[in-house]
Amino acid sequence: MDRLIKRGIIQSNICSLCERDAESHTHLFFECHFSMTVWNEVMNWLKFKWRTCNWRMLLDWYCNRLRGRGFKLKVKRMALAAVVYNIWKERNNRIFNQKKRAPEQIVRDIKIGMYSVILNNPLMPNEDRDCFLSL
C-alpha cells in the first residue's frame, strides 16, 4: 500500500490489521501490534526465544540459523512460513472479502495447520512427533 499511495493509485494506506498506522511491508509483518501478537504467541507456544524484529534479521535467521535437518529447525521454518502466510492471508481477507479474525483465532489456525502437517506425516519419527506433542 505504501507503494500504491506514492503513485496516487489509492488514497488511504491504513493498515487493515490494526486500522491505525500506515501499511508498509515492515509495518504489516513486524511493527503492527496485531502481527506482533500473532508472532509472539506462536513463538511462545513453540518455546522459541525469537520475537518479532524486521525483514533483514528474519532473512538472516532463516538463511543462516535455521539451516539444517533437525526437527526443531524444521518446526521453526514451518512456524515462520505459517505466520507470514497467515498474516498476509488475514490482510487480504480483510481488504477483499471483508472477513476478520482476531489474533487468537489466527494463532489457533496456525497451530491446527502445523499439527495437521506434522501428525499426518507417515514418515515422522515417533520421537519427533512426541517432541511436538509436548509443546
Which CB sits closer to Zn ion, 11 or 126?
A: 11
- In the complex, least distance from residue 52 CB atom to Zn ion, rounded to whole angstroms: 12
CB hemisphere CA count around 14 (13 angstroms): 7
Q: Smallest gap, in angstroms, from Cβ of residue 2 to Zn ion?
A: 12
Q: Which residues bind Zn ion (CB under 5 A)?
A: 15, 17-18, 21, 32
Give min distance, CB of 87 to Zn ion, in A. 10
**Residue with grid cell 506514492, as numbered in its chain:** 6
C-alpha cell at 69: 535437518
Rounded CA-CA distance 52/123 in Å is 32
Closest CB to Zn ion among residues 34, 132: 34
Q: How far is the CB of 15 from Zn ion (least distance, A)?
A: 3
Q: Which is nearer to Zn ion, 72 or 101 (CB)?
A: 101
- In the structure grid, which three cell numbers stand for residue 122, read together? 507417515
Closer to Zn ion by Cβ: residue 13 or 78:
13
Distance CA 125, CA 130 (A): 9
8 torsion bin: left (phi>0), alpha (psi -120 to 50), beta (else): left
